[in-house]
Amino acid sequence: MQYPQLLQPMRLVQPGAGFSSAGRGIGFLLLLFTTVWCLDASAANSETQASGSQVARGKYLVEFGSCRDCHTPGHFTGKDDESRKLGGGDVGFLVPGLGIFQGPNLTPDKETGLGNWTREQIVTAITTGVLPDRRILSTIMPWQNFAALTKSDAEAIAIYLKSLPPVHNKVGGPYGESEKVPIPVMKIEAPAATSK
């Protein structure tokens, strides 16, 4: 059996037939630049697209994760201050044996919030409790629960926090357990103390 189409003599193109070697070099560089430019553009593109949906996912998780409760002023006194949403809680939590802790400012303000934190540092704090200065967050911040977040959900939270309008609000603490503090404090009283 014959397959005439396979038996056609191939047209060989001589290397360099159309281009001088300098021409080929320039051609190659052009190709390289175009490829790099295209890769670059598509990376930038997918980053913007990804962050659009990641911001939405992060917002959803932050609302679901009750972050606003401890990190927004007014929450425990009846009305969240929406203009300072996630700009730092105004109530302290007394953790027996550890101290009094106030929910810090989670907005990207550079001086008083997370403005200088990398996305990775935020993810690490939320999921492992380890701060950039290596201090471990007290467990009133429920990082032990948040440790179960997937990497991409934890990142979406960090991306959303970084997208918030920065709120300039310096939160105090951590305070010593018996220190006088300028904010209301929630604490669990032992039964002997409450029955007095």
Complex with ligand HEC: residue 19 or 136, whichever CB lies closer: 136
Q: Which residues contact 51 (CB under 8 A, 6 or more apart)?
A: 159, 163
Q: Does 138 bind ligand HEC (CB under 6 A)?
A: yes
Interatomic CA distance for residues 156 and 178, integer angstroms = 38
Bond from prior residue into 174 cis (ω within 30 degrees of 0): yes
DSSP tag of 169: -
Q: Does 126 bind ligand HEC (CB under 6 A)?
A: yes
Complex with ligand HEC: residue 10 or 148, whichever CB lies closer: 148
Number of residues binding to ligand HEC, judged by CB under 6 A: 25
Name which position in 72, 93, 127, 159 contacts ligand HEC (CB under 6 A). 93
Interatomic CA distance for residues 29 and 35, integer angstroms = 10
Choose the binding region for ligand HEC from 26-34, 74-82, 133-141, 181-189 (rule: CB under 6 A).
133-141
Complex with ligand HEC: residue 142 or 166, whichever CB lies closer: 142
Interatomic CA distance for residues 165 and 171, integer angstroms = 17
DSSP-based three-state secondary structure for 93: strand
Q: Does 111 bind ligand HEC (CB under 6 A)?
A: no
Interatomic CA distance for residues 147 and 125, integer angstroms = 10
Q: Does 141 bind ligand HEC (CB under 6 A)?
A: yes
Q: At its nearest, how many Å lie between ligand HEC and the CB of residue 191? A: 23
Residues forming the site for ligand HEC (CB under 6 A): 62, 65-67, 69-71, 93, 101-104, 106, 122, 125-126, 131, 137-138, 140-142, 146, 157, 174
